[in-house]
């Protein structure tokens, strides 16, 4: 019905398998159409208002045994893209989605049943969302926004006791708990106006018979200077790593330091017997993003511990320098040296090698 520019409608429909495929036409790939579920799609939509303020009282889409979606909300200033406003709440649950897995050829991957509660908001060019996904005893929570006017964004993700085997039944990974946060503005990494701050905390991960925890990764980008740090202290890996970089279109610099106190190769499945390694690694480099590149690295204090003995390999050093006139690479371990030199630039050398 319509009165004084206002519209109210209540739409109910039950679309059969064949009708959906006919309506979709060429939009559904043939491979997907062949395995598309036979169940009908039931729809119920109730709305009222006008182009200035439209209220959607009911959105209900259901495909029996496959999925169920319910939502409600409003949209204001529909035709004004810069000032449009909207707010919706959603509740959804999934069932058998084997046809999605088959179409995507996800061998060894399962798509289990899940429940979703979400809230979405639009305010001009700012988009916000909050959601909680429940699978068994595990939960995944997220909240995020992005503002397209200044390309500012913020997102947080929290996982609690998510069972990876529900999705990868043949994998060695079990329950997972972690938190992740990112915040920033801008997308051009070469611009000093771009900023980024992120962190990832691994609280707990089951891997075979091992429990992995106490792992933290942080990343910061501010005024062209970047810092990435990794700290791990668990049964498989004990390490501290740090990367510092000066990002510049003309001359970028990189420093990398790694202190590996322990890595358990037996736990990683690399070795049948107990083999634990440790080392200190330092890397320094620079580039003008064109012809001039430099990399200097060293690996020392290396230990390989087995049940019977401990090995102490020789320190390893490496140096690589390139410019538009020559390429130099040399490395040594103790008294063993290797050196390569070419009296031409990297681009010319690569071109000849490709020919």
Q: Give the three-state DSSP class for 212.
A: strand
Q: Give the three-state DSSP class for 347.
A: helix
pLDDT of 34 strictly over 80: yes
The residue whose two tokens read 């398998």 is 17
DSSP state of 114: -
Q: Which helix (H) or strand (E) holds 21?
A: helix 17-24
CA contacts within 13 A on the Cβ side of 281: 15
Question: Rounded to the nearest 5 degrees, what angle is found at the Cα of 243, between the Cα atoms of 240 and 249?
Answer: 175
Quote the CA–CA distance of 37 and 27 in Å, as a whole number: 16
Contacts of 320 (CB under 8 A, 6+ apart): 293, 294, 295, 296, 328, 329
Question: What Cα–Cα distance (Å) separates residue 291 from each residue in 29, 324, 353?
Answer: 46, 5, 17
* C-alpha torsion sign, points 341, 343, 345, 350: negative
Question: Do 290 and 312 meet the contact criterion of CB atoms below 8 Å apart?
Answer: no
Q: What residues form DSSP beta bridges with 127? A: 122, 146
Q: What pLDDT digit, counting tens, does each position of 133-154 carry? A: 999 999 999 999 999 999 999 9
Confidence at 344, pLDDT banded by 50, 70, 90: confident
Contacts of 244 (CB under 8 A, 6+ apart): 225, 226, 227, 254, 255
Query: Looking at residues 322-341, what average pLDDT do you find?
Result: 91
pTM above 0.75, yes or no: yes
Q: What is the mean pLDDT of the chain?
A: 91
**Dihedrals phi, psi of 34, to nearest 5 degrees:** -70, -30
Question: Do 32 and 103 meet the contact criterion of CB atoms below 8 Å apart?
Answer: yes
Confidence at 93, pLDDT banded by 50, 70, 90: very high
Largest distance between two CA atoms of the chain: 92
Q: In the chain, what percentage of residues exceed pLDDT 90?
A: 68
Quote the CA–CA distance of 46 and 85 in Å, as a whole number: 19
* Cα–chain center distance at 187: 16
């Amino acid at each position: 019905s319509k009165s004084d520019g206002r519209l109210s409608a209540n739409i109910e429909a039950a679309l059969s398998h064949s009708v959906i495929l006919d309506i979709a036409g060429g939009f559904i790939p043939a491979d997907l159409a062949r395995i598309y579920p036979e169940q009908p799609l039931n729809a119920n939509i109730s709305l009222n208002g006008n182009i200035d303020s439209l209220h959607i009282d009911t959105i209900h889409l259901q495909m029996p045994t496959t999925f169920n979606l319910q939502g409600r909300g409003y949209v204001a200033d529909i035709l004004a893209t810069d000032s449009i406003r909207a707010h919706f709440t959603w509740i959804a649950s999934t069932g058998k989605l084997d046809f999605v897995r088959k179409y995507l050829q996800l061998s060894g991957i399962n798509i289990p049943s899940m429940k979703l509660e979400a809230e979405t908001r639009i305010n001009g060019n700012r988009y916000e969302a909050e959601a909680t996904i429940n699978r068994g005893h595990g939960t995944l929570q997220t909240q995020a926004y992005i503002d397209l006017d200044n390309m500012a964004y913020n997102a947080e993700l929290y996982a609690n006791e998510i069972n990876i085997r529900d999705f990868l039944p043949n994998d060695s990974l079990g329950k997972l708990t972690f938190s992740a946060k990112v915040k920033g503005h801008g997308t051009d990494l070469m611009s000093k106006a771009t900023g980024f701050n992120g962190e990832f905390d691994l609280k707990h991960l089951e891997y075979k018979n091992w429990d992995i925890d106490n792992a933290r990764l942080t990343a910061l980008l501010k005024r062209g200077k970047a810092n990435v740090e990794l700290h791990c202290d668990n049964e498989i890996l004990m390490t501290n790593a740090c990367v510092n970089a000066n990002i510049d279109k003309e001359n970028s610099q990189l420093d990398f330091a790694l202190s590996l106190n322990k890595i358990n190769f037996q736990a990683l499945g690399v070795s049948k017997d107990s083999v634990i390694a440790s080392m200190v690694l330092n890397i320094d480099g620079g580039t003008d993003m064109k012809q001039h590149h430099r990399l200097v690295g060293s690996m020392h204090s290396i230990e390989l511990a087995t049940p019977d003995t401990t090995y102490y390999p020789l320190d390893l050093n490496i140096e690589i320098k390139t410019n538009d006139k020559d390429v130099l690479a040399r490395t040594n371990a103790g008294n063993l040296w290797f050196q390569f030199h070419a009296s031409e630039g990297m681009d010319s050398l690569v071109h000849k090698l490709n020919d």
